[in-house]
Structure 1
Amino acid sequence: MKQLYEITRKLAGKYKRTDRPIKDKNGNVLTSDEDQLKRWREHFEELLNRPPPQNPPDITPAEEVLQINCERPSKAEIEKAIHHMKRGKASGPDKIPAEAIKADIETSTEILHDLLGKIWEQEEIPTEWKEGYLVKLPKKGDMQDCNNYRGIMLLSVPGKVLNRVILDRLKTGVDAKLRDHQAGFRKDRSCTDQIATLRIIVEQSMEWDSSLYINFVDYEKAFDSLDRDTLWKLLQHYGIPNKLISLIRNSYEDMACRVIHAGQLTDSFMVKTGVRQGCLLSPFLFLLAIDWIMKKTTKYRRNGIQWTPWSQLEDLDFADDLALLSHSHQQMQEKTELLNTVSTQLGLNINRSKTRIMKANTKNNNPITMNGEPLEETDSFTYLGSTINKHGGTAEDVKARIQKARVAFIMLRKMWRAKQIKTNTKLRIFNSNVKAVLLYGSETWRSTQKTLKRIQTFINKCLRRILHLKWTDKISNTTLWKMTKQLPIENEIKKRKWRWIGHTLRKPPNTITRQAITWNPPGKRRRGRPRNTWQRDTEKETKEMGYTRREMEKMATDRKRWRSLVDGLCSQRAIRHKKEEEKKFIHRLDLLGGRPSYIVRRGAVLPTYVVFT
């Protein structure tokens, strides 16, 4: 399958040239390899060697050190770390791939057990493990501008085994000390959790006429800007033992890097700031910095939205993607200024040109400012890949997902036309490369017949093209779904949503995502018919199944029972039975002349009637 997806990437034209001409600082185009190598070295040397912060914070060590194992790595830990390594990844400067280590795990474990034991006792990382090759990955914008490339560092694979052992030990002790607001790089947390929570906040704020301010913060080169001296103090502040700090710190000392360009290497240069992109420890180290920044920002002032009777929700975070929340202009202004001040103490700079403010249910037109300059306001924002609108709807996000899925489908048109590729293979590619793009974040959508019809129409059109069906073939959509083994989109979205709800209900009651399912802000509903929301959709489907909210929470603890419930809810048989019952009910109503009434029973909503007299 790996070779198959490699072919699909080539057919889609996703490979971008990274050896094209680039510009120097003055905008002059460089065409010779020698000049380009010098320019790439100059660019990354400046990027990875930032000036230290002018006002570094005074961070005190923890009074108690966490109970984390500091003994030399055991064979079981090393073997587990080797099993975690993925095949097919690029090797570092030592040219040792993961496949070589995984070829004979028992022998590799014995060799690494002795080597890592010596490193652990001497607290000195081999020089070869401190050198990395930097690969350029293009982003958006002008590909001749070096700033539109992201650098990923290729490091020694044996060194990653040591980092995996350290990371596994740190996570067990430190994760409990991190704020629940952070979902990036943490177990049992995902982008969907943050998207759903934010979408519910916007929808419920609109329904209850509660004012809402959201600041979508964007950091400039965050991973490359973090001050390392401050980082070592943060490790002590969170109670990490000095033994582990010494090992991590030594791996960063005298670190060198060379940039790969056009099959050649630039001259080596030192890297003195930031965390290594490509290192297993880097996301964890960066989370500690963001966690400390947000704790410092929200410690003494209550500037968030009212979340529970006794607490406020200040922000939602996914790594360095922050969404600050407030009820008033003054609260958001204070929080933004304080966040900017605290961030600069660690070497992080907020990118004012990409930071956006979203307002809902407020008549205050005064701008939120940072360093005296106003931040740009927006009615919608793409947060973690999903479009959030200030009015709370999902139509804009659905439209964007269809457009992105259409682009993905068109890019693979050569594959759909190829007669030598089996239909089953094409359908697997469609599900993984197109449908996954289309239904990203669908767990958070407020389903309406209009949006469901748009999505289903797009899918049907794609399936007919894959099967090379013409309009003259006169094949019904139901037959089309059976031929391609596809669920109707209404069933599939509902299945995804209730799977995510089950996952959320199994979390502790004090987690933000679980509280969001039933959250309502302070305020008063507007006059008139209330708008449909994600919460109201969920309550309606719960009643149709014949259960209460508490019964659903109890069932979610049993995974097998919950899986059966979701499969039954979204099956063709259940939907067909529901439609038959509705038809019978309408027929009785026409004969007797009555008005509708419903009896809710376990597992179904059974219609009855009340006769007019």
Structure 2
Amino acid sequence: MFSSVIGNMYHHTPFRVRDSDNVSQKEIQSTGIRQGCPLSPYLFILFMTVLMHDVEDSYRAEMGNAVHTHSAADPLFDLEYADDTVLMSRSSHSITKLLQCLQKEAEPYGMALNRAKTKLLVVSGPPASVVTFTDNTPVHVVGDNESLEYLGTILNRKGSPQITLTTRLARAKQEFNKLAQFWSHANIKTALKVRVFKHFFYPMVLYGLTHVWLTDGLRNRLDAWHCRCLRRIVRVKVSMISHVTNDVIYKKTDCHPISRDLESMQLKYFGHVVRAGITETIHNVTYSQSHTTRNLNAPKRAGRPCHKWAPGMELTVSRWASAQLPPLPIPVSQRQRVIFAKCEDHAGWRSFCAFPMRRRVTRP
């Protein structure tokens, strides 16, 4: 009954194309997704759930074991957002089998992969063998100097968030310059300009950065862009002669560094991860052994350790706690236990995340 109702709604659906005041003739849609239909995301969730269940069964039948990327008890190997699908594996042989199983299981439903958009991203080291489709055509491998975009995030082999932040800031700067007349208009109040700036440009820059650990250099770069925009809004030029500090700009616009807003968002997300418990996927992925420690059996020297999100957030919690009045120092030996206990208190954790850190006291 349900499939019949959906089929009748989607069968011979007429549509028109509007361009300004010009409207085309009626046409019948035969292929494609109804982007404006409220049922589209739910139908895709139903379809992808069934499809990936079939893929896992097919993989088990061929390989004899479950697909797992983080732990054997938690067989997570895929991420889906509508038709944007990510397959994850620890070996090229396993990822090849996953890809080919996905192709085979999707054919009976009339679905096929877009090979031009299918790419292989190797996080560490070269692949042991070539990853191919069912017809032995090799999959394009993202090189050292290449990157790919997934849901607004730029991914590369190094795993550094620098390229994502650079792209976001460049795009935000371009859009900010388009509103030059609005920012310089004398009859528009500063409060309205700041409100427009926050509503349009904060999401553009901060989207998806809640689960990314930014170094101090990247945070300073983010704050520098933010303060330059605020200076243009209040029409104060950057000059070594006037000596108008950033604190004065923040006071005029009733703002604070954007990195503080980012840390508040990250702390809220961190509390959600901790409250999930050790049996939840989001907790296991965040606190996976490969994500929190270095590989001691690496053939090469490990070198400088990579920045990890979970340990970095624990340090952020300690810093925010010490900045409160009165300070709440957290001993290093008890840091994780105290943080986990604080996250369980929903109301207390929300007020803790919203607490503004004390600004540095600078000499006059």
Q: CA deviation at 1:358?
A: 0.7
Pairing 1:247–2:34 present: no
Q: CA deviation at 1:275?
A: 4.7
Contact 1:304 / 1:325 at 8 angstroms: preserved in 2?
no
**What SS does structure 2 have at the residue aligned with 1:491?**
helix
Pairing 1:561–2:348 present: yes
Pairing 1:549–2:336 present: yes
**What SS does structure 1 have at the residue aligned with 2:315?**
helix
The separation in 1 between residues aligned to 2:30 and 2:127, in whole angstroms, is 45
1:259 partner amino acid? V
The separation in 2 between residues aligned to 1:286 and 1:305, in whole angstroms, is 24
In structure 1, the residue matched to 2:100 is 337
Change (3 A) 1:299 1:553: farther
2:49 partner amino acid? D
In structure 2, the residue matched to 1:411 is 178
Q: CA deviation at 1:313?
A: 1.8
Change (3 A) 1:374 1:246: closer
Q: CA deviation at 1:323?
A: 1.0
The separation in 1 between residues aligned to 2:224 and 2:98, in whole angstroms, is 45
Q: Match for 2:71 among 291, 308, 317?
A: 308
Q: CA deviation at 1:322?
A: 0.9
2:116 partner amino acid? S
Q: CA deviation at 1:390?
A: 2.0
The separation in 1 between residues aligned to 2:90 and 2:195, in whole angstroms, is 46
Pairing 1:477–2:246 present: yes
2:188 partner amino acid? I
Q: Which has the higher strand share?
A: 1
Q: CA deviation at 1:559?
A: 2.6
The separation in 2 between residues aligned to 1:262 and 1:529, in whole angstroms, is 56
1:255 partner amino acid? T
Change (3 A) 1:480 1:543: closer
Pairing 1:572–2:357 present: yes
Residues 199-218 of structure 1 mapped to structure 2, 5 A cutoff? none
2:312 partner amino acid? D
Residues 60-71 of structure 1 mapped to structure 2, 5 A cutoff? none
**What SS does structure 2 have at the residue aligned with 1:451?**
helix
Change (3 A) 1:246 1:506: farther
In structure 2, the residue matched to 1:440 is 207
In structure 2, the residue matched to 1:226 is none
Deviations 1:218-259 (A, max 9, x none): xxxxxxxxxxxxxxxxxxxxxxxx3x4443333234433333
In structure 2, the residue matched to 1:168 is none
Pairing 1:490–2:253 present: no
In structure 2, the residue matched to 1:259 is 17
Change (3 A) 1:252 1:537: same
In structure 2, the residue matched to 1:539 is 314
**What SS does structure 1 have at the residue aligned with 2:231?**
helix
Deviations 1:424-467 (A, max 9, x none): 11111111222321222221232222111211111111111111
Contact 2:270 / 2:313 at 8 angstroms: preserved in 1?
no
In structure 2, the residue matched to 1:396 is 163
Q: CA deviation at 1:265?
A: 4.2
The separation in 1 between residues aligned to 2:127 and 2:43, in whole angstroms, is 39
1:268 partner amino acid? K
Contact 2:267 / 2:317 at 8 angstroms: preserved in 1?
no
In structure 2, the residue matched to 1:295 is 53
Contact 1:394 / 1:445 at 8 angstroms: preserved in 2?
yes
Contact 2:56 / 2:66 at 8 angstroms: preserved in 1?
yes
The separation in 2 between residues aligned to 1:265 and 1:490, in whole angstroms, is 46
2:141 partner amino acid? E
TM-score by length of 2: 0.82
Deviations 1:5-48 (A, max 9, x none): xxxxxxxxxxxxxxxxxxxxxxxxxxxxxxxxxxxxxxxxxxxx
Q: CA deviation at 1:274?
A: 4.8
Contact 2:154 / 2:163 at 8 angstroms: preserved in 1?
yes
Contact 2:155 / 2:164 at 8 angstroms: preserved in 1?
yes
Contact 1:355 / 1:376 at 8 angstroms: preserved in 2?
yes
In structure 2, the residue matched to 1:361 is 124
Pairing 1:524–2:295 present: yes
Change (3 A) 1:521 1:452: closer
Q: CA deviation at 1:393?
A: 1.7
Q: Match for 2:139 among 375, 379, 398?
A: 375
Contact 1:297 / 1:338 at 8 angstroms: preserved in 2?
yes
Higher RCO structure, 1 or 2 (CA under 8 Å, sep 6+): 1
Contact 1:303 / 1:314 at 8 angstroms: preserved in 2?
no
Q: CA deviation at 1:561?
A: 0.6
Structure 2 residue ranges without an equivalent (≥5): 60-64, 322-329
The separation in 1 between residues aligned to 2:83 and 2:314, in whole angstroms, is 34
Q: CA deviation at 1:263?
A: 3.6
The separation in 2 between residues aligned to 1:452 and 1:261, in whole angstroms, is 42
Q: Percent identity?
A: 25
In structure 1, the residue matched to 2:325 is none
1:280 partner amino acid? P
Contact 1:329 / 1:368 at 8 angstroms: preserved in 2?
yes
In structure 2, the residue matched to 1:468 is 235
Deviations 1:497-528 (A, max 9, x none): 00122233344654322322211239833544
2:47 partner amino acid? A
The separation in 2 between residues aligned to 1:548 and 1:454, in whole angstroms, is 29
CA RMSD of aligned residues (A): 2.7
**What SS does structure 2 have at the residue aligned with 1:480?**
helix
The separation in 2 between residues aligned to 1:505 and 1:531, in whole angstroms, is 22
Contact 2:106 / 2:112 at 8 angstroms: preserved in 1?
yes
In structure 1, the residue matched to 2:62 is none
In structure 2, the residue matched to 1:348 is 111
Q: CA deviation at 1:332?
A: 0.9
Structure 1 residue ranges without an equivalent (≥5): 1-241, 581-613
Contact 1:542 / 1:548 at 8 angstroms: preserved in 2?
no
